[in-house]
Structure 1
Amino acid sequence: MDVYLNWEDLNGITISEDAFSFTDSAENPVKSSIRLYVPEESKNVYYDVRDDFSTEFHFKGGTIFVSRNSVYEYEGLAFVVNPIAGTAKLISNPITRNKSQIIIPHEFPYDPLQTRLTVNIIDDNVFRDNKNLNSIILPKTLESIGTAAFVGCEALTAIEIPAAVKSIGNYCFSSCSGLTTVILHEGLETIGANSFENCLSLRSIKIPSTSIFVDSDVFTNCDGLDVYLTWDNLRGIFISDNAFYSSIRLRIPKGTEEIYGYDDNANYYFRGGLLIPADEEEPVSQVYYTLLINSNIDDYSYRINDSIPHDNIAYIKADTRVHVKIEYDRNKYRLSNDNINFVISENTVLTLDFERLPDAIAYYSLQVKSNMENYNSIINGVARLYEEIIYIRENTSVTIDVEYDRSQYRLNNGAIYFVILKDTVLSLDFERLPEPEPEPEPEPEKPVQKPQYSLLVLYKADRGETILKTQTDEKYDSASIITVIAQPEKDYSFDYWLDKNGYIISLDKDYTFRIEKDTWLSAMFTKSASSINDAVEAGLYYRNGILFNPALYEVRLYDAAGKLMLLFTENEKQLDLPYEGICLIIARKGKEIIRQKIML
């Protein structure tokens, strides 16, 4: 067992003979196995007792050890601990020199017995030149801040010194150029030299009336600063000759002009500053407290008074009622309280302890990065944006296909396969290929000579005689579009166009086609009948859907495209065909031919 003794001397201390030992059945003292740790600075007090035979019995039964301070880390911060005094001093480490947001705990557990040590000192130079530090919460147990502890913390904008702090070291906040708000509480006794020099953004500060020692050049180069002084008298107050030597305004309580140097005897205390009697009491500085929310998971969000904070730390005006709403996946986690309400009266840290449900499904992030941008990554068949972060269910097989210009780049692995078990970042390292030698320019293509074709057009009457034969020496380029027009003479009507093989190819007078070979066309005409009787005398006529054929011609019926629809030789024929439009009838009997158009 370890026992820590903290007496600085033993005068007036009564210690029983068996205080640190026990007795056996014969009532004889037996040495115990306890270790007695004594302060190093007062070790001689305890050793003198051991050397003095008359008082040695006070500590017999235990073994005395000198307790030396040791370095201990808690939540990334380093402390020199004093288990005997139960205190700890914050010292510099990479966290204090680089991190942007820092919370110093009031106390922390130290040994297996969970002995709790109180943080009461910030050592010299702990946060020196931390250009990232923009927010810090000091422990309410803090008593002293060391020399140059925050010097050069340019991003720090506000700080509240706890009420328990008695002293601020020399150069403590020197060159904190972004510092706009400093709150000092009653109880502060010592303000070190140059402690706020070069705080260019500081506009007002109140010196507590409990301050009894103000060293030199406290506000050097703080031009335009209003310093509110609160002393009723200067008895027992030490103020250095140059404490306020700067272009600042010293606001003093009304009616205290003589106390603050309006006579020759006290003037040197405040030389350099402009003394201004205040018509009213100094303005009350708006006090803001920090609210920081920590959690044991990352996939959650929260709202503070129905607003989403821009950072994980919020600055809230003192005595404001705060409502924190926690939003998270209730299928994966459980939280005892996700609606938190309180009135903020100090710097506050909320720690959310989520419980993972047994059947919760884990999702992990996946991001593909590369040393160039002109490529596509296809993850499990879905194209993704450049460096897009996606979330994939745990134990899922992942296939990544990479598409890129293989004529310009080389990649060792264009297809990647794995099972995702954690948050993953893949880096693709493309190698640029050397520029290929330019290919010789191809020879210009020779123009292709298109073939040309001739056209012969015959115009025939219904008896087969040729009315007109047209043939020219003109040749037509292959695939040319040609239109021929059959213009009937008087007493004739146009019937159809025939090709070289005697097939009807069009019933339109204006026939347009694409010439792709030597072409032979015949335009067929019929002599117009003067009346219906002409058609009757001819032995062929059409009435009410019936085609009458009293002369028993061989009758052929063609549609507008020249397709044969009907062939008959009967006396009459009901035309119940699935066709509507103009049709051509050709009737033959021996050498006699009749051509007639009807509308179905």
Structure 2
Amino acid sequence: IREGYWWISYDNGTNWTQLGKATGEDGKDADSIKITQDENNVYFELADGTVITISKTGQSADPNVIQFEDLYVKNICLNNWDNNNDGELSYDEAANVPTIGLIFSGNKNIQNFNELQYFTGITTIDDKAFYGCDNLRTIIIPQNVKTIGYRAFYCLNNEPYGFPSSLAFISLPEGLTSIGQGAFQYCDFLKSITIPASVTLIGPYGLSFKAENIYFKSTNPPTISDENSEGGQVGTIVGVTSTKVYVPRNSIEQYKAITHLNTREIIGYDFE
């Protein structure tokens, strides 16, 4: 425990990864830890749902097997795609998954799914794929994904009233081309997001949340769809006027001309 958080190293101390917040005194968490085990590992589940896996043998993890941070995510993946029934998901098994469909939709237990990046056979994040996953905090989208569907990360608690989802970090692939209607609506903890230069289309309310900073990398602004599948007034892609939008310096005027970019501040930015 350091600075109030659990830290773990998977390479004998060379690199350290910050996990969940520690709730007890330094060095112990008392009854807030749930401990389970199987033949190979001991699992320490923290109060916030973070799972730390310790090998019983002391041997390094199998380099062909994905090391999941979130035990709930791992169990879902194993139940659906562990083709050889060895109790682990290999990188090859993940790469052969064509779609995740609605397997995770509505699951309020999952918190971290950065391992989704290894599902390289996926080209679309389906409509409502993570709809209602109110406690999902971080996720990395696979590099081959071209489309994020309708309400893919929409928070169910907001129907009609409730709390925003916990999503605070998402990594979008450089090859992404479209973001569907309401894809990130009510993801109010997502304070910063970078839209790859490859994105050419964003649906109504596609980025409607309380972001502090949104970065558009394309010199040509994406098209903002005016087709609202639910009828009524077309929503803005940025729902809060205090949001700062960063765009390539030579494209400021083009972005200012976007009707549905409801923001007061568009700032020139030098992208690498």
TM-score (norm 1): 0.25
Give the secondary-structure state (helix, strand or coil) at the position aligned to 2:241.
coil
Where does residue 241 of structure 2 map in the other structure? Answer: 223
Which residue of structure 2 lines up, in the alignment, with residue 124 of structure 1?
127
Residue 144, structure 1, aligned to residue 147, structure 2:
yes
The Cα shift of 1:144 comes to 1.0
1:166 to 157, 161, 177: 177
Q: Map 1:513-552 onto structure 2 (within 5 A).
A: none
User: Counting helix residues as a fraction of each chain, which structure ranks higher?
Assistant: 2
- Which residue of the partner structure matches residue 50 of structure 2? none
Structure 1 match to 2:107: 97
Shift of residue 269, structure 1, vs aligned partner: 3.4
Do 1:190 and 1:214's aligned partners in 2 also have CA atoms closer than 8 Å? yes
Counterpart CA distance in 1 for 2:240 and 2:220 is: 23
1:186 aligned residue: 197
Cα displacement (A) at 1:212: 3.6
C-alpha deviation, 1:231, in angstroms: 8.4
Residue-by-residue CA offset, 1:226-263 (whole Å, 9 max, x unaligned): 11234857xxxxxxxxxxxxxxxxxx2xxx4xx566xx
Give the Cα–Cα distance (whole angstroms) in 1 for the partners of residues 181 and 244 of structure 2: 21
Output the CA distance in 2 between the equivalents of 1:138 and 1:119: 9
Q: Is the 8 A contact 1:89 1:119 kept in 2?
A: yes
For the 8 Å contact 2:124–2:147, the answer to whether it is kept is yes
Q: SS where residue 99 of structure 2 aligns?
A: strand
The counterpart of 1:88, out of the listed 67, 90, 98, is 98
Maintained 8 Å contact 1:191/1:211: no
For the structure 1 residues 122 and 271, does the alpha-carbon distance in structure 2 shift closer, same or farther, using more than 3 Å as the test?
closer
Q: Secondary structure at the match of 2:242?
A: coil
> How much has 1:168 moved relative to structure 2?
0.7
Name the SS for the 1:182 alignment partner. strand
Check conservation: 1:183, 1:206, Cα contact below 8 A: yes
Shift of 1:162: 0.5
1:435-446 residue pairs with structure 2 within 5 A? none
Query: In structure 2, what residue type is equivalent to 1:155?
Result: S
Cα 1:122–1:187 shift into 2, 3 Å? same
1:213 is the counterpart of 2:216: no
SS in 2 for 1:183: strand
Distance in 1, matches of 2:147 and 2:261, equals 28
Structure 2 residue runs of 5 or longer lacking an equivalent are 1-75, 82-95, 156-163, 227-234
**1:282-431 equivalences in 2 (<5 Å):** 282=269
Q: How many residues align?
A: 164
Amino acid at match of 2:102: S
Q: Quote the offset at 1:213 in angstroms.
A: 1.4
**Partner Cα separation in structure 1 for residue 112 and residue 104 of structure 2:** 13
Q: Which amino acid aligns with 1:282?
A: Y
Q: Deviation of residue 189 (structure 1)?
A: 1.3
SS in 2 for 1:206: strand
CA distance in 2, matches of 1:232, 1:189: 18
Q: Is the 8 A contact 2:241 2:263 kept in 1?
A: no
Q: Runs of 5+ in structure 1 lacking a partner? A: 1-72, 79-85, 109-117, 234-251, 262-266, 286-600
Between the aligned partners of 1:140 and 1:211, the Cα distance in structure 2 is 21
Cα deviation 1:390-427 (Å, max 9, x = unaligned) = xxxxxxxxxxxxxxxxxxxxxxxxxxxxxxxxxxxxxx
The Cα of 1:141 is off from its aligned counterpart by 1.4
SS for the counterpart of 1:228 is strand
Percent of aligned pairs with the same residue? 18
User: CA 1:88–1:224 in structure 2 vs 1: closer, same or farther (change >3 Å)?
Assistant: same
Residue of structure 2 in register with 1:269 after alignment:
259
Q: CA deviation at 1:220?
A: 4.9
Between the aligned partners of 1:268 and 1:136, the Cα distance in structure 2 is 29
* SS of equivalent residue, structure 1 residue 172: coil
How far has the Cα of 1:75 moved from its partner?
Answer: 3.3
RMSD of aligned alpha carbons: 3.3
Question: Residue deviations 1:125-172, cap 9 Å, x none?
Answer: 011111111111211111111100001161111112111111111000
Q: Give the Å deviation of 1:101.
A: 1.4
2:236 aligned partner, one-letter code: V
Aligned partner of residue 97 in structure 1, secondary structure: coil
Normalising by structure 2, we get a TM-score of 0.51
Question: How far off its partner does 1:97 sit?
Answer: 2.3
Structure 1 residue 96, shift from structure 2 partner: 6.6
For residues 104 and 193 of structure 2, the distance between their equivalents in structure 1, rounded to whole angstroms, comes to: 25
Q: Output one character per residue of 1:350-383: Cα deviation in whole Å (capped at 9) or x when no partner.
A: xxxxxxxxxxxxxxxxxxxxxxxxxxxxxxxxxx
Residues 184, 206 of structure 1: 8 Å contact kept: yes
Offset of residue 283 of structure 1? 6.5
Return the structure number with greater relative CO, CA threshold 8 A, min gap 6. 2
Runs of 4+ residues deviating >6 angstroms: none
Q: Distance in 1 between matches of 2:169 and 2:150?
A: 19
Aligned equivalents of 1:123, 1:272: Cα separation in 2: 27
Kept after mapping to 2: 8 A contact 1:140/1:163 = yes
* Higher gyration radius (CA): 1
